Chains A and B, each alone.
Chain A
Amino acid sequence: MAHIEEHKETHTVQKEKQNYVMLDLGKTPKFGMPAFIQVVKRSLSLELLKGLGVTFREMINALFKGKMHTTKYPFEKLPISPRYRAIHEMLRLLESGHYRCIGCGLCEKICISNCIAMETRYDENQRKEVSQYTINFGRCIFCGYCAEVCPELAIVHGGRYENASEQRAGFSLFEDMLTPIDKLKEQKEFAGFGSISPNADENIKKTPLAY
């Protein structure tokens, strides 16, 4: 409730602060004759051609001077902000190539649309292995909590926003999201949601070690 009250308050404050200025548009003609004269004046002052001139200039620029403004999607794509939240990616450790996910289950827990599920097991190397991992993209609202909570920076939001398909299940398994092993070199450290802040070192107190 308190939250709603607060919201109402800021709303009224904004209203009071608004300071509109009326443009001087002259007088609107009230009778037939003055109105007709206004139409004729506006039509014959060649304002139309001014506008057409701008269009023509830009057409020449685009066609002959190589200054095209349109992006040829889907052949071209605009760069997106690292903070954009599209289909998730699963990152690998750069040194070993092993996937980073440790199966802690925090993403599964924090997911507010309850769309992450995983299976883990005790593997032959006495480690916790993620045997299955999936995100139901039919339910995912791309809030980014999973990426934020991940202690290993393993699950991150990638830039793949084109997820129109017959079935979204096609990009929801662990293997689909995991960086392909041959593309490991191209894997970039994630700078968006949940990544470590540049001044992280300043914010922590180091534990003494006896070594």
Chain B
Amino acid sequence: MEEIENNGLISLTIDGKRCVAKEGEYILNIARANGIFIPAICYLTRCSPTLACRLCLVEADGKRVYACNAKAKDGMNVVVSNEEILEERRAIMQVYDVNHPLQCGVCDKSGECELQNYTLEIGVDEQPYKIADVKRESSNWSSVLHYDPALCIVCERCITVCKDMIGDSALTTGPRGGKGLDKELKDTMPKDAYAMWNKLQKSVIVPSNETNQTNCSDCGECIAVCPVGALVSRDFMYTTNSWELSKIPATCAHCSSGCQIYYETKPTGIANRDEKIYRVTNEWNYVSLCGAGRFGYDFENRTASKDANALKKAVAAIKKADAVRFNSIITNEEALMLQTLKEKFGLKLLNSDAKAFKDFMTYFSNAKGATLWDGNIRTMMQESDFIISVGSAIRHDNPNVRYLFNNIQKLNKGAGLYFHPIGDKVIENLGKNVACIANKINSEEAVLYWILDKFADKEKLPAEVKDYLASLSTVTKKTITETIMEDIIETVIDEATGESKEVTKKVPKKVNKEIEVNTSKLLEMFGAPNDFADTVEKFLAKKENFSLVVGEDLYFHPRSKNLAILVALIESATPFNVAIIPPKTNSLGVSLICDLDDECSGYIVGYNEVGDFRLSALGDGDLDMPAMNQQEGTLTNMHKRVVPTNAALSYNGYTLNDILNELGIGKRLTIDWTKELPVKKGFEAREFDSLPNGYNNDGSENRGYGLKSQRVKIVESLPKEISLNEMSAELIAYRCNPQRQFNEFTATAHQIFEPFALYVSEEKADELGDRVVIDLEGTEFVLDVKIDNRMSGNIVKLPDFKHSFEIYKFFGQNRFKSISIRKA
């Protein structure tokens, strides 16, 4: 077989087909990437192999191995099935079918059930095995999860995904209480089937916290991966059969991750034939959703109608307006329409989240010489083994970054540093090599300088930065106690002969020793814990591939310009791959397409925001607009891709394009704007209908197109010195939405119920009571106090997902703010 050299590629034969793959890849993944079918139930791509089902048994070079955990070797010959393997697989499926309830008629999974599929595929037509069943009661595990152990085949996919991808580790196996297998079976039945059954008969899935409720993020990923009907969403249960639903490929519109999802629709009922979304599903082998994406789908604008009068008023309002205030939960097309309005009518465009992000990106590109960052979150997930997150509450801001952080720990044997002023108990427990560093508020400059100091190739650093870093570092002398072995010469008198003899002995001895330690003032500046330097040294052992993700705190920061320059410098001078996380759904798209203005007064048209005339997709404005699940268009996500989304539900009102048509500058359809997206900013002039939205068999993304980074002139690439803006106040609030709540649309969804409240740690809650009055520069809110038992520390979290509170206005160019508070 010919050798392919130098790039770590090997070639092997699977089922007679020659495949080229990366060295060390699992056989199963190679087969899947090459379109070869190997049966497997328990394996999840992107997670560690469980080896529960044993169906993926194959013969590699004549040796029986499990394709999901056997690494491919060069020149290997893999036989997918032969008589013995088929016999094993048939026995395994026969065992899975023992005592499985014959209630396919009412089971939610029927029609897309892997147990049904494999039973047919492998041709189980008789049942030679039997064992007495035990009563297994179904139960609700949380507000969304329903578990029926009678249907469970204990493939442990839910446990695996929760641990390796989500990071909650909320599930584990518990005792089933079933009878042991007949010992005779061991000799009479196929070996793997017996081993599988032996394990199956002993366990069921239980919450890992030894209660009957899971302590988790309610993301529902376990529901998605369940091959049978054991885990279902409580809301979806028994409402429809899977085959009645039509799958509409779309993009989740809640955060900047822009995950690929399917809205699954069918008529609401017999009397009402309007389509309704019954659930959201995902390609769980390639993308994992969060709770908002999976359960926050019914945010459509139901009441919209074609109110010609309101349209006229809207047109008049636009003509009269000084500015349009909007947020980034809009499509690229809508952003382009708003930009067109700006150009034709001289309107100002106001957008709090995208403005801060755009400024940051401008400083970043002026320092870097290109418009976009280089890091790619999907490749980081596969390759990186050391990750640093700065300035983002990743559990809230972007769950997919949290999954990335976790996956690196679990699958790449990685380490991670999470810099955030608010401690997070979930992140803390993602792995042994994870440290949450509660840096001082607004001290991110020091953190980024520390990364430069620690990791930068000093040759690549500008002299000024080198000098500055040197000036911050001090050499101190430290006394440490060391144990050394000392030779002692003893004189021993031989008792028999009376002669004295000298014997050398080794004796341990503690010695104090002075060593020189290179400490940097930076650590003190951001408030590193005492053992920080040692921890980092420990984490860094054998690490090769470094990732840095930076988030919203850096854009809303008094020193955001300097931070942007530092990030650019880290990208060029250190081995770190850098990813910049846009704050809201389409902040990246809006920041590229729109020229945004500073806050101004005057007559303001609000689009899903406060204004004198309000366009609203929430159904509460002066003119209705379509919500994200009612319109076609593209979004620009944090993976730097322009991805399409489709309309799942009908919409009866007017769109932004209709307003533009009234003004004489519209197009026939909203999606006619797609090919007009600015090529100069990195977009492509492509028709909407030519944009794919799916994944390839090898897991690569086949969605829309990638944004192209544009070259720009380097204007300012030298970072300034650190200036700390320490905040000292009795109470500091952090602008941050509760988990699963991203915007007003998620708040409308009936399965997302995290309220608009003040979120505090358990210890702080005792101090504050149940209800508080918050004073934000004279404006008072009364808010409930909710405990977020996964956060720690004294800082409180104040959400921004309701536009009417105008939280952005109060916080301004900082995500932290000192507030005064009193008990209500």
- Residues of A near B237 (CB, < 8 A) are 122
Task: Chain A residues near B664: list those with CB within 8 A.
Answer: none
* Minimum CB–CB distance for A164 against chain B, Å: 24
CB of B106 within 8 A of CB of A207, answer: no
Contacts of A205 in B (CB 8 A): 125-126
Query: What chain B residues lie within 8 Å of A151 (beta carbons)?
Result: 105
- Quote the shortest CB–CB distance from A30 to chain B (angstroms): 73
> CA separation between A205 and B125, bound complex, in Å?
9
Contact at B106–A118, with CB atoms within 8 Å? no
Q: B311 to nearest A CB, angstroms?
A: 36
Is the CB–CB distance between A120 and B238 below 8 Å?
A: yes
Task: Please tell me if A60 contacts chain B, counting CB pairs below 8 Å.
Answer: no
* Contacting pair B238 A109 (CB below 8 A): no
Q: Is there an interface contact between B106 and A134, defined as CB atoms closer than 8 Å?
A: no
Chain B min CB distance to A139 (Å): 14
Measured in the bound complex, the distance between the Cα atoms of B271 and A99 in whole Å is 22
CB pair B106–A104 under 8 Å, yes or no, is yes
Closest chain-A Cβ to B434's Cβ sits at a distance in Å of 40
Q: Which B residues between 118 and 166 are near A, CB-CB below 8 angstroms?
A: 125-133, 138
In Å, the complex CA distance between A104 and B107 comes to 8
CB-based contact A118/B105 at 8 Å: no
Across the interface, do A210 and B241 meet the contact criterion of CB distance under 8 Å?
A: no
CB neighbours of A106 from chain B (8 A): 105
| Chain A proximity mask over B659-694: 1 for CB below 8 Å, otherwise 0 | 000000000000000000000000000000000000
Chain B residues bordering chain A, tally (CB within 8 A): 26
Chain A, 103-121, CB within 8 A of any chain B CB: 103-106, 108-109, 117-121
For residue A59, CB closer than 8 A to chain B, the reply is no
User: Is B130 touching A210 in the complex (CB atoms < 8 A)?
Assistant: yes
Residue of B nearest to A119 (CB): B269
**Nearest chain A CB to B11 CB, angstrom units:** 43
B105 touches which one: A102, A117, A207 (CB < 8 A)?
A: A102
B238 with A119: CB separation less than 8 A: no
A132's contact among B105, B106, B138, B270, by CB below 8 Å, is which? B270
Distance between Cα atoms of A105 and B111 in the complex (Å):
11
Min Cβ gap B585→A in Å is 33
Query: Do A109 and B132 touch across chains, with their CB atoms under 8 A apart?
Result: no
A120-B244 contact in complex given A134-B270, A208-B127, A208-B130, C-beta closer than 8 Å: no
Residues of A135-163 at the interface with B, using a CB-CB cut-off of 8 Å, are 151-152
- A residues within 8 A CB of B131? 210
Expressed in whole angstroms, the minimum distance between the Cβ of A138 and any Cβ of chain B is 15
Most B C-beta atoms less than 10 A away, residue of A108, A122, A151: A122
B212 smallest CB distance to A (angstroms): 16
Report B-chain residues with C-beta under 8 Å of the C-beta of A133: 270
| B270 and A128 within 8 A (CB) | no
Q: Is B779's beta carbon under 8 Å from chain A?
A: no
Q: Is there contact, CB below 8 Å, between B105 and A120? A: no
Q: Which residue of B lies closest to A133 (CB)?
A: B270
Interface residues of B in 427-475 (CB under 8 A from A): none
Minimum C-beta distance from A125 to chain B (A):
12
Q: How far is the CA of A117 from the CA of B266 in the complex (A)?
A: 11
A104 CA to B108 CA, complexed, in Å: 9
B82 close to chain A: CB less than 8 A: no
Q: Which residues does chain A contribute within 8 Å of B243, judged by CB atoms? A: 105, 109
- Residues from 237 to 268 in B contacting A, C-beta threshold 8 Å: 237-241, 243-244, 267
| Complex Cα spacing A122 to B108, Å | 11
Q: Mark A198-211, 1 if CB is under 8 A from B, else 0.
A: 00000001011111
User: A120, B239: Cβ atoms under 8 Å?
Assistant: yes
Instruction: Tell me the chain A residues, 62-77 only, with Cβ under 8 Å from chain B.
Output: none
A151 to B125, CA, bound (A): 18
Residue of A nearest to B110 (CB): A104
Number of interface residues of A (CB under 8 A): 28
Q: Does A10 lie at the interface of the complex (its beta carbon under 8 Å from any beta carbon of B)?
A: no
Q: A171 CB to closest chain B CB, in angstroms?
A: 15
A126 contacts the other chain (CB 8 A)? yes
Closest CB in chain B relative to A170 CB, distance in Å:
15
Do B128 and A208 touch across chains, with their CB atoms under 8 A apart?
yes
Residue pair B130, A102 in contact (C-beta under 8 Å): no
Residues of B within 8 A of A119 (CB): 269-270
List chain B residues, Cβ under 8 A from A102.
105-106
**Complex Cα–Cα for A209 and B128 (A):** 10
Find out whether the CB atom of A207 lies under 8 angstroms from the CB atom of B127: yes
Q: Which residues of A contact B110 (CB under 8 A)?
A: 104
Closest B residue to A104 by beta carbon equals: B105
A151→B110 CA distance, assembly (Å)? 14
| Minimum distance in angstroms from A126 CB to a CB of chain B | 7
Contact A118 B127, beta carbon cutoff 8 Å? no
Q: Which chain B residues (256-297) contact chain A, with CB distance < 8 Å?
A: 267, 269-271
From B125, B128, B132, B269, contact of A211 by CB (8 A): B132
Once bound together, how far apart are the Cα atoms of A106 and B111, in whole Å?
11
Q: List residues of chain B with CB within 8 A of the CB of A208.
A: 127-130
Taking CB atoms, residues of chain B closer than 8 Å to A152 are: 105
Shortest beta-carbon distance, A74 to chain B, in Å? 32
- Distance between Cα atoms of A210 and B201 in the complex (Å): 14
Q: Tell me the smallest distance from the CB of A35 to a CB of chain B, in Å.
A: 71
What chain B residues lie within 8 Å of A132 (beta carbons)? 269-271
Q: In the complex, what's the smallest C-beta–C-beta distance from B514 to chain A, in angstroms?
A: 72
Q: Which residue of B lies closest to A173 (CB)?
A: B270
Nearest-neighbour CB distance to chain B for A110, whole angstroms, equals 11
Q: Are A126 and B126 in contact (CB under 8 A)?
A: no
Partner among A103, A118, A122, A210 whose Cβ is within 8 Å of the Cβ of B132 = A210
Residue of B nearest to A129 (CB): B238
Q: Chain B residue with minimal CB distance to A205?
A: B126
Which of A120, A127, A134, A211 has a CB less than 8 Å from the CB of B240? Answer: A120
CA distance A122 to B131 in the complex (A): 30
A116 to chain B, nearest CB (A): 10
Q: How far is the CA of A177 from the CA of B267 in the complex (A)?
A: 23
Please report the C-alpha to C-alpha distance between residue A210 and residue B131 in the assembled complex, in whole angstroms: 5
In the assembled complex, the Cα of A12 lies from the Cα of B225 at a distance in Å of 58
- Complex: how many Å from CA A152 to CA B241? 17
CA distance A117 to B126 in the complex (A): 35
Q: Report yes or no: B269 in contact with A105, Cβ–Cβ below 8 A.
A: no
* Cβ of B129 to closest chain A Cβ, rounded Å: 8
Check B244–A105 contact: CB distance below 8 A: yes
Closest to A120 in B: B238
Q: Chain A residues near B106: list those with CB within 8 A.
A: 102-104, 127-128
Most buried by B among A108, A118, A126, A210: A210
Please measure, in the bound complex, the distance between the C-alpha atom of A27 and the C-alpha atom of B593, giving whole angstroms.
Answer: 100
Nearest-CB residue, chain B, relative to A136:
B270
Least distance between A103 CB and chain B CB atoms (Å): 6
* A-chain residues with CB within 8 Å of residue B270 when the two chains form the complex: 117-119, 132-134
Contacts of B130 in A (CB 8 A): 207-210
| Distance of B113 from chain A, by nearest CB (Å) | 13
Within 8 A of B (CB), among A15-36: none
Instruction: Point out which of A120, A129, A133, A152 has the most chain B C-beta atoms below 10 A from its C-beta.
Output: A120
CB neighbours (8 Å) of A122 from chain B are 234, 237-239
Q: How far is the CB of B477 from chain A (nearest CB, A)?
A: 71
What distance in Å separates the Cβ of B135 from its nearest Cβ neighbour in chain A?
13
Instruction: With both chains docked as a complex, state the minimum distance between the C-beta of A29 and any C-beta of chain B, in angstroms.
Output: 72
Residue of chain B at shortest CB distance from A132? B270
Which B residues are in CB contact (< 8 Å) with A121? 238-239
CA distance A129 to B106 in the complex (A): 9
Chain B residues lying within 8 Å of A120, measured Cβ to Cβ, are: 238-240
Contact B132 A108, beta carbon cutoff 8 Å: no
Q: What chain B residues lie within 8 Å of A129 (beta carbons)?
A: 238
- In the assembled complex, 17 residue pairs joining A and B whose CB atoms fall closer than 8 Å, in A order, are A103-B105, A105-B240, A109-B244, A117-B270, A118-B270, A119-B269, A119-B270, A122-B237, A126-B138, A129-B238, A132-B270, A132-B271, A133-B270, A205-B126, A208-B127, A208-B130, A211-B132
Name 13 extra pairs, CB < 8 A, besides A103-B106, A132-B270, A134-B270: A102-B105, A103-B238, A105-B240, A105-B241, A106-B105, A109-B241, A117-B270, A122-B239, A132-B271, A133-B270, A152-B105, A207-B127, A211-B132
Going nearest first, the 7 A-B pairs with the smallest beta carbon separation are A104-B105, A128-B106, A210-B130, A128-B238, A105-B241, A207-B127, A122-B238
